[in-house]
Amino acid sequence: PYFFSKTMAEHAAWEEAGSQTQWTLVTINPSFVMGPGLQYHESSESFSLVKQMGNGKMASGVPRFSTGIVDVRNVAQAHVVAGYSTEAKGRFVLSGHDTDFYEMAQCLLQTYPNYPLPKRCIPKFLVELIGPLLPGHTFTRKYIQNNVDIDIHFDNTKSQEVLGIEYMDLSDTMNDMFQQMVDAGAFETNESESNGS
């Protein structure tokens, strides 16, 4: 799985760093990266999620899947600062907001009322009923129990104090990303329908 491979890769990197003295290692560990990219990528998990929110696939509602969110611009800033700062040592957790899919969608509703964004929250019992039946078998009941309607917290204190990161507002992150997708034509069908064409 993706998360396991990332963990193992970091373990290997720390082992390599400890075996020599020519360079030091600093790792940046972001939560779910959102926000406008250099360009819109259909294959990006972040863009894929937001596209489903905006194209009507999630119009019936979204569950409160708990996640941390960090703006891609904060991630870029952290990499640059960590690469040049002598005070940057060890691991840095980058996460600006403890949130969920429902709250993410709500950030978009006022700015984009003509798109079929999810307005309702799907209750956990319904997610537990339907999730395991979805293609890919990603949403097992155990996964749902551990990730839906669960309060999470990522401690970003070190990234703020050492790297000077000032995390962007969640609404700005979501709206800037959605606007980039609108400009790229990701929702052309919905836009033409909303204009009565």
Which residues are within 8 A (CB) of 197 and not within 5 positions of it... i.e. 6 or more apart? none
Token pair for residue 76? 């870029």
Task: Count the neighbouring beta carbons within 10 Å of the beta carbon of residue 64.
Answer: 19
List 121's β-bridge partners, or say none.
62
Selected catalytic residue, list 6, 57, 119, 142: 6
Residue 28: closest CA among 101, 77, 97, 100: 77
Contact 105, 53 (CB under 8 A): yes
Q: Is 89 a catalytic residue?
A: no
Residue 169 has what DSSP assignment?
Answer: P
Would you please indicate which residues are annotated as catalytic (active-site) residues? 6
